[in-house]
């Protein structure tokens, strides 16, 4: 089947610390992979994506590399800011099936000054 497993939170970091949020997946076929961010009281926004193996998605200092051999798509940022405090969702989509979009459970990040 298709599923996404995310690192459980919450994660609390000091400003300028290094961030890693782990995401692994199982999928039928070759999925596209996404990271979304949700700020309090808002909908989800696409943060970055990768559509094939070894692709690196990047945006706003965040990066994630599509690793087919380890079925992973870990989110990283070298130096977090207070404004990065949010909930982060890993997701995948596959070509087949009526419902082909799957989300992880989300990881809450809090960055303290």
Partner 1 sequence: DGGITQSPKYLFRKEGQNVTLSCEQNLNHDAMYWYRQDPGQGLRLIYYSQIVNDFQKGDIAEGYSVSREKKESFPLTVTSAQKNPTAFYLCAVRGGAHTEAFFGQGTRLTVV
Q: Which residues are near partner 1 by CB under 8 A?
A: 31-32, 34, 36, 41-46, 49, 51, 89, 91, 93-96, 98-101, 103-106, 108
Judged by beta carbon, residue 60 or residue 95, the one nearer partner 1 is 95
Judged by beta carbon, residue 45 or residue 83, the one nearer partner 1 is 45
State the nearest-atom distance from the C-beta of 111 to partner 1, in Å.
18
How many CA within 13 A on the CB side of residue 95?
4
**Residues 38, 89 contacting (CB under 8 angstroms):** yes
**Residues 68, 52 contacting (CB under 8 angstroms):** no
Judged by beta carbon, residue 10 or residue 113, the one nearer partner 1 is 10
Kindly write down the DSSP assignment for every residue of 47-82, as one continuous string: EEEE-STT-EEEETTEEEE-BTTTTB--EEESS--G
State the nearest-atom distance from the C-beta of 102 to partner 1, in Å.
9
């Amino acid at each position: 089947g298709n599923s996404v497993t995310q690192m459980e939170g919450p994660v609390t970091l000091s400003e300028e610390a290094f961030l890693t949020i782990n995401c692994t997946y199982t999928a039928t076929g070759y999925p596209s992979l996404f990271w979304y961010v949700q700020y309090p009281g808002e909908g989800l926004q696409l943060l970055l994506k990768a559509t094939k193996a070894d692709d690196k998605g990047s945006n706003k200092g965040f990066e994630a590399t599509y690793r087919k051999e380890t079925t992973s798509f870990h989110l990283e940022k070298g130096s977090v800011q207070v404004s990065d405090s949010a909930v982060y969702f890993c997701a995948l989509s596959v070509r087949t099936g009526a419902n082909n979009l799957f989300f992880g459970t989300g990881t809450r990040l809090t960055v303290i000054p």
